[in-house]
Amino acid sequence: MHRFALPVLILALLPAAASAGEWVAGDLHVHTTYSHDSYGGPEDDNTGPEEAYTLGHSVQSQFSIAATRGLDFLAITDHQSVRSQTDEGFGFGGVIGVPGYENSIKGHAQMLGGKKDSYNRGDQSPGAINAMAGELRADGGLFQANHPVDPKWQYGYDVPIDTAEVWNAPWVYQPPFPSASDNDGALRFWHGWLDRGQRVAAVGGSDSHWVATTAAQGAGQPTTWVYVEQRTPEAILAGLEAGRTFVSHQPPNLGGPSAFLEADTDGDGTFESLVGDRVPRDSKLRVRVEGAPGAMLQLVTDGGEPAGDAVAIDSPSFTHTFDAPAGATWLHAQVYGEDLREQRSEAPCETFFSPDNPLGGTTYCGNRVLMLALTSALFLRDPDPDAPPEEEAPKPPVADPAPPASDPAAPAAVQEQPATTPRANAPAKPKAKKKAKAKKKKKAKRKKKRRVKRRPR
């Protein structure tokens, strides 16, 4: 696969600003031999020698790989276990250790920030899982849906999530081999949350298990970038909750490209708003792409539809400015290499190897295979200069069962959910001059705080 990349020093091209904020790189889904499907040798207490082919990494080994690849943080998320957090290798090499574990429910959930593995799953019904997720959030954690297509996330949109793993393992991996995960389907699942007015962040994780697959599916393949105010696990979780993320197909030291979706809300030339923010629809918008010359940039909006034609990225440091589509409630950006998707989706590939073929098929015919980077969403609202900053929409309640939706490519549980109208917070009524003046000062202070800092190396 052709790599559209530059060395990690491309990040030095980012403009410096007087702010503590910066983008940090990491992997939110990595396993060690504390997982049942990763063999750790004769002393392994949960995987036997008959599964020696699953030889895995120790905690220190995974952190060492992360450090070598230029990652700033790493979440060890073993199945139903937090033993890694007390392992002497946790945080090795100066890489920030983010606590958590992978929870097997009706689908796989990531318990990011979880420092115990005793959260009660109950009968695994939507109500029980909502209660469990609430307990995790009360402890400062985040609830994430992992690779929602396989195993299928059976809760559809009934159980609110904070983050969605839209990118599991290399995107080029497609069902049925070498991976059962369908990232195109996971992307549609995430778009469904955005269409429902929910500010859910897009993240990625390598799901690294085995030594044998480390070269292509090791820590940072893909890499999740998070905008943070401090280099702490708590600040990383806060950045994730705020939706300040983008995902790259490679870690920094392997030249993964970067993508920044930003907005200038007052026309002063400073793009102070980042992904995760809700901005007036008439704001000046731009995408900056670093390290992907020769690739394509596609903006995506409501319903997962393209927002205009794809744009060719013709330089190592590329900027594209644009206007929001009329009526759009969200936007995000995708960067990909030309992979002949349209041609692959035609006969004979689709005829003989369609996923619907009873004799077996593959998603290679129609899915994107050379995804290089994608951003979380920027949310849009009607212009109202006197409206105060909007709060995040509340998490939805558990919904009643509904007839199947029409998208046959979506995960089965997602098909059970109705298409709903995106919620838009109503703009506030005009305020008095005194309040407007105070708001203007507060906005200027917030803008200064959000400016992106050059990432130190």
pLDDT of residue 451: 43
Q: Quick one: tokens of 359? A: 């004799």
pLDDT of residue 118: 95
Show the CA angle centred on residue 313, arms to residues 307 and 314, nearest 5°: 145
Instruction: Please report, in angstroms and rounded to a whole number, the separation of the first and last CA atoms in the chain.
Output: 28
In whole angstroms, give the CA distance from residue 318 to residue 199. Answer: 27
Contact 223, 252 (CB under 8 A): yes
pLDDT of residue 117: 96
The upper half-sphere exposure of residue 44, i.e. CA atoms within 13 Å in the direction of its Cβ, equals 23
For each of the domains in the chain, give its residue range(s) and CATH number, in order of start: 22-341+370-450 (3.20.20.140)
pLDDT of residue 350: 67
| Regions of the chain where pLDDT drops below 50 | 1-18, 393, 395-437, 439, 442-443, 445-457
pLDDT of residue 175: 82
Show the CA angle centred on residue 188, arms to residues 417 and 185, nearest 5°: 105
315 class by beta-carbon count within 10 Å (0-12 exposed, 13-18 middle, 19+ buried)? exposed
pLDDT of residue 383: 84
**Strand positions, DSSP E, 206-351:** 223-228, 245-248, 258-264, 273-274, 278-280, 284-290, 296-301, 305-306, 311-312, 317-322, 330-336
Q: Which helix (H) or strand (E) holds 76?
A: strand 73-76
pLDDT of residue 92: 98
In whole angstroms, give the CA distance from residue 222 to residue 453. Answer: 23
